[in-house]
Amino acid sequence: MGRSHPSRPLGGLCDFATAARAGSRLGCPSVTVIRYSRAHRLVHWTTAALVLSLLGLGLTMIDSLASWRSTGLVIHKAGGLTVFVLTAFRLGLLATRSRALTPPRPRSVQHAAAIVTHTLLYVLLVIVPLTGWAMQGAAGTPIVLPGGYALPQILSQNIVVYGALREAHGVLTRVLWTLILLHAGAALYHGLIRRDDVLERML
């Protein structure tokens, strides 16, 4: 699943950038960067691009009466289902990934926060598409896939339930936005300031 890459010095003057220039001539301690599998990295970045696009599209469609809104809704629904499927696939990759390929991390508040953030991200990447799917059923507008196949409705038509799900979908989406910003900020912190292998493993 994961594979080893050339060792790179860490810590103080012994960071990744220094290693790339000077290598072992500095006498720095080194570690081996163990990246996620190509499949995992591909799913990660594809999901990230889709989620950001869907969030942007969803925001522009709110209360919009533009002629493109119906097309935007179709794209939004299809994209949401794709994110759901990709997330399920990624969870499967995580479940089958050897623990030996996960570098040990010292227990700390930062490490605990990372675990909580990642867990919430996965939960929301499942729940947000599901609330959207359920919302369409409650609205009486089933999701139709290319080729004319309509997905089964999670809920029967109910305007009150639709209103509640629409509100929940919006709130959960804003929480997802917040977590994505935290996740991206943490990744940049590790890549640009701490200069450790955390970001490197997903590149």
Instruction: Give the residue extent of every domain in the chain.
Output: 1-35, 37-193
Q: What is the 3-state secondary structure (H, E, C) of the chain?
A: CCEEEEEEECCCCCCHHHHHHHHHHHCCCEEEEEECCHHHHHHHHHHHHHHHHHHHHHHHHCCCCCCCHHHHHHHHHHHHHHHHHHHHHHHHHHHHCCHHHCCCCCCCHHHHHHHHHHHHHHHHHHHHHHHHHHHHHHHCCCCECCCCCECCCCCCCCHHHHHHHHHHHHHHHHHHHHHHHHHHHHHHHHHHHHCCCCCHHHC
Q: What pLDDT sits at residue 144? A: 82
Q: What pLDDT sits at residue 106? A: 60
Q: What pLDDT sits at residue 89? A: 93
How far apart CA 147 and CA 174 sit, in angstroms, is: 32
End-to-end CA distance of the chain: 15
**Tens digit of pLDDT per residue, the chain (203 long)?**
444 344 444 444 455 444 444 444 444 555 566 788 888 899 999 999 999 999 888 777 766 656 677 778 888 888 999 999 999 999 998 888 765 455 556 667 887 888 899 999 999 999 999 999 999 999 988 888 777 788 888 899 999 999 999 999 999 999 999 999 999 998 888 888 888 777 888 88
Q: How far is CA 161 from the centre of its chain?
A: 28
CATH tag, 37-193: 1.20.950
pTM, whole model, 2 decimals? 0.76
Q: What pLDDT sits at residue 127? A: 96
